[in-house]
Structure formats: structure tokens, C-alpha cells
Amino acid sequence: MTHAGGPLSGIVVLDLSRALAGPHAAMLLGDLGARVIKVEQPGTGDDTRGWGPPFVGPEDDPISTYFLSCNRNKESIELDLKSDDGRTQLTRLVRASDVLVENFRPGVLDRLGFSMERLHELNPRLVVCSISGFGHDGPEGGRAGYDQIAQGEAGLMSITGSSPEEPTKVGVPIGDLLAGLHGAYGTLSALYERERTGRGRVVRTSLLSSIVGVHAFQGTRWTVAKEVPRPIGNHHPSIAPYGTYACADGMLQVAVASEGQWAKFAALLGLDATDPRFARNADRVTNRPELNAAIEAVLAGGSRDEWLERIGAIGIPCGAIRTIDQVYEWEQTRSQGLVLSVDHPVLGEIELPGPPVRFDTHPDETTAGRAGHLPPPRLGEHNDSVRAWLDELDADA
């Protein structure tokens, strides 16, 4: 076993998850340098291997770009967990791992013979990251969790979109992604705690808790003020002007978040900052339709790029609305390490979205993060090498 470098170098993660929430959590740990061994169903693998189009690669063996998005820095081993050999190999892997990530429906691991109690009998130091749809207990704890269902049930769709009549999901599976992120940070906390106690513990999160946990001010609008938030499109519900505006040839976004910024922005547009309808933020929020109309009447006289330059020059946050291809072509994106180049065994050199966390180096280091990133694995690509590693561990025991 070689060390990839990075803060989690030497940590072994056993990834029993599929689809997105669990695989995303395991991938984040892999980005930090952990060795991630992904267990997949023989012959079919992770569900996302079949999710598409788009597919790329050979017509007789197409590769899902969905799978590629959430499985970098992993090895793949095929195990039938309902077979004697599969359970034997899983037992060996549990004993050899530091972290286990799973997102089975509650009760499935128990039926396979690997309850949380059994896992910790096999390996008292094991940290288990368990991700569910609606929680592992409670009156609806056994429900299957899919992202869009959770976005609706957790209230996110009710505050997203152009109007209350058109509840809208977020353009990425944000519940899955947040659950993966929360699972990863809970896992890191448990690994840190293990340094003191010598014991692992179970870390639990869910799509429901991950979405409710980021309600932020929309949550306290109800819990404290008893005001039910509703969607208002691309404008901030509590700050104005803060949103999307039309220019002569396109759209731009402006965020005016203080009274000082409002005074400068109003002066640039030739508006009266002391107009009683707009003098304070609360007034501007109350009179948003009139404010937006006044702003767009001025912006219509110039191009988007012209206004972006003029607004930016006075220190007001503003920006364009880029398409996904434009984001990945943007030099600022690439400068932040957000595009990775990896050598895929079938596709050759491909680019993937990169990890969102970077580490600065100390003077005596050449790299503070993972030394090199691995492409998402082919199904069963590491069957032999993982079994050989387990044999070595048994021989050394």
C-alpha cells in the first residue's frame, strides 16, 4: 500500500455506499489523501454506472459521466455481500479499515450480519459514517431517500423558484451533496476524537438533516418570526437591491448589502438614495417591485459588460451568469485547482471537477495535499490487488 500524501495519508476508507451521498463523502476523504476502497455489486456495480446519458467511451462498454463525478481517488473491488466469500472479504476489510461509509436503507447492514455492534466487535477503532434519507430512527426513519424527494420534504423546493405556484428543485442533487459533506466532516471529527479515546464511533447524517441544517435565515424566519418563506425568484428575501437585473443585452447580478453601498450604487445610476421608498434596506425590501423597475430602466441603457465594469469600479459586488462550460473555461476556476486532469484506463486523459479545499505548504514541503489524483475506477479494477493486500495483512498478523 502506497501513501498518497495529504492530511489523511495512511487512513483506509471502506466505501460500501452507492449513488451520490455516500460516494461523495468517501471521495472527499480520498481527496484528503485517504485510501478509499469501493465495494461494488459484481457485474453491475454502483447504480450510477448506468445513469445517463451522457455516456462516453466505447459503445459496447459505455462509461457514465455521472459515475465519474463522484468516484475519483478510489479503488474498486466486486463483492457479493450475500455470499459466504463476500461476507468473509468484507470482514477482512472491516478489520483493516479506519472508516466505513454506508448509505443503505436502515436495517440492511443488520440483515447482512454487519450491525453497528458487530462492526465494532470486529474493529473497535472503526469510524462508521452512516447516511440515510430521513434519519435512522423516528416515525419515518425507514423511508428510502432520493434527493428530489428530500428537497421537497425538507422545504427547499418551497423557497426555490419564481413563485409559490412553481416550487423548483436545485439544479444539482444538493441534498445528496450536503449529506456527503456533512458525513465527511463528522467522520473527520470522529477520527480526531479517536486519537484521544482509541475507539471509533458511528456518525449519522441524512438528506433531511443536511437540508434542514442549511435553512439558515429562512429557517429562523419561521422558528422565530413565524413567517413562512416563499420563493421570489432571483432576489434576496431580506436585502435589496440584491439579485438579477436585465441590461440592454443580457443579465447581471448585483449585491448591495449595506447602506454605504446603496448610496454609491444609487449615485451611479442617478437614483435618489434618500427617496423615502428606498432610504433604508427595510424600505427597499418592502418596495422591491418599484426599486427593481427603477434600476432596470437605467440598466437598459447600457450593455451588460459596460455595467459590470462600472459597478465593479465603485466596489459593489456584481457578476455575470455563466454557463457550466464557461465556468470550466474561466481562468479563475482553473487557478483555484478546480479542474483536475487524470489518466483514465479507458478514456485516457480526462478533466474532472476538482476538490474545493486547498492546503498551503510549509517551507520544507513540496506539496501539502494529495500528491496525485486517481481516476474513477473501472468495475472490479482492483479485485486482485485489494485481496493481495489483505493477504499480506493476514501474513503479518
Residue-wise pLDDT tens digits, 100-130: 999 998 889 999 999 999 999 999 999 999 9
Is 267 within the bounds of a domain? Answer: yes
Catalytic positions: 176
Give the domain range for residue 302.
Answer: 242-319
Which pLDDT score is estimated for 1? Answer: 46
39 and 170 fall within a common domain? yes
**Cα gap 77→320, rounded to integer Å:** 44
Is 103 within the bounds of a domain? Answer: yes
210 and 86 fall within a common domain? yes
Is 344 within the bounds of a domain? Answer: yes
Name 13's bridge partners.
36, 99
Q: pLDDT for 364-393, tens place per residue? A: 776 767 878 999 999 999 999 999 999 999
Q: pLDDT for 66-109, tens place per residue? A: 999 999 999 999 999 999 999 999 999 999 999 999 999 888 99
Burial 228-248 (b: 16+ CB within 10 A, else e): ebebeeebbbeebbbbebebe
What residues contact 200, with CB distance under 8 A and at least 6 apart? Answer: 98, 120, 123, 124, 125, 126, 127, 128, 190, 194
110 and 27 fall within a common domain? yes
Q: Per residue of the chain (397 residues), give pLDDT as tens.
A: 456 789 999 999 999 999 999 999 999 999 999 999 999 999 999 999 999 999 999 999 999 999 999 999 999 999 999 999 999 999 999 999 999 999 998 889 999 999 999 999 999 999 999 999 999 999 999 888 899 999 999 999 999 999 999 999 999 999 999 999 999 999 999 999 999 999 999 999 999 999 999 999 999 999 999 999 999 899 999 999 999 999 999 999 999 999 999 999 999 999 999 999 999 999 999 999 999 999 999 999 999 999 999 999 999 999 999 999 999 999 999 999 999 999 999 999 999 999 999 888 888 776 767 878 999 999 999 999 999 999 999 998 7
Which pLDDT score is estimated for 3? Answer: 60
Q: Could you say which of 271, 293, 319 is where a domain stops?
A: 319
314 and 342 fall within a common domain? no
292 and 382 fall within a common domain? no
End-to-end CA distance of the chain: 16
**Cα gap 259→273, rounded to integer Å:** 9
Which pLDDT score is estimated for 54? Answer: 96
Is 39 within the bounds of a domain? Answer: yes
Q: What is the CATH number of the domain that holds 294?
A: 3.30.1540.10
Mapped onto helix, strand or coil, the DSSP state of residue 277 is: coil
Phi (first) and psi of residue 195, to 5 degrees? -60, -30
252 and 383 fall within a common domain? no
Number of domains forming the structure of the chain: 2
Q: Residue holding cell 473555461? A: 329
Is 301 within the bounds of a domain? Answer: yes
Which pLDDT score is estimated for 14? Answer: 98
354 and 297 fall within a common domain? no
Is 152 within the bounds of a domain? Answer: yes
59 and 17 fall within a common domain? yes
Which pLDDT score is estimated for 83? Answer: 95
70 and 176 fall within a common domain? yes
Q: What is the CATH number of the domain that holds 45?
A: 3.40.50.10540
106 and 252 fall within a common domain? no
DSSP H or E run through 79: none
179 and 56 fall within a common domain? yes
Q: Residue holding cell 448610496? A: 263
Is 283 within the bounds of a domain? Answer: yes
Distances 286 to 251, 278, 282 between C-alpha atoms, Å: 23, 9, 6
Which pLDDT score is estimated for 362? Answer: 82
Residue 326 corresponds to which cell in the numbers above? 464557461
Is 230 within the bounds of a domain? Answer: no
Q: What is the DSSP string of 312-371?
A: HHTT--EE----HHHHHH-HHHHHTT-EEEEEETTTEEEEEEPPS---PPPTT-S-SS-S
pTM greater than 0.75: yes
109 and 25 fall within a common domain? yes
**Cα gap 312→306, rounded to integer Å:** 10
Q: Could you say which of 267, 287, 319 is where a domain stops?
A: 319
Go through the chain and tell me how many residues it has: 397
